[in-house]
Structures are given as C-alpha cells and as structure tokens.
Amino acid sequence: MSDVERLAERLEQIVADLDEVAFDRLREAAADGATERPASDKELAKARRAAEKAAYILRNIDGSVDD
C-alpha cells in the first residue's frame, strides 16, 4: 500500500468520524427539543465533503479509482 493510499484511507476514516460527530449533535439537539439543525451542522457537512473530495483525489493520483 502506497503512502497516498494510506492518506486516502485516513481521510475516509475522518469522513466517518465527522458523520458520527454530526449525528451525535443532531441527536443531542433533538433530545433537547430543538426544532432546527444545530448551527455547526452546515460546517461539519462542509468539512466532511472536503475530506471526501481529498480522499477521492488521492485515490485518482494513485490510480485506484475508475471513472
């Protein structure tokens, strides 16, 4: 496994971690009776998309993604 592939895998784990954090915050907000999404939800989603995009780009560099 190349260094680039390892970085892509780490980024994919970060994506999963960000999903977990976002879900936890949504669950907490719902438990507190909130009727709107937490303010941080939009920023967490942006961070998740950025990490997902970076992982995809790295996999293309390494030649392990088919278009």
- Per-residue pLDDT tens for 32-43? 999 999 989 999
pLDDT of residue 60: 93
Q: What are the residue boundaries of the structural domains of the chain, listed by start?
A: 3-61
Specify the higher pLDDT residue, 66 or 56. Answer: 56
Rounded-to-integer distance, Cα 46 and Cα 52, Å: 10
Q: What global pTM score does this model have?
A: 0.82
Question: What does the pLDDT look like over 6-32, one tens digit per residue?
Answer: 999 999 999 999 999 999 999 999 999
pLDDT of residue 1: 81
Which of 11, 21, 23 has its CA nearest to residue 50? 11
CB 61 within 8 A of CB 8: no
SS3 assignment for 43-59: HHHHHHHHHHHHHHHHH
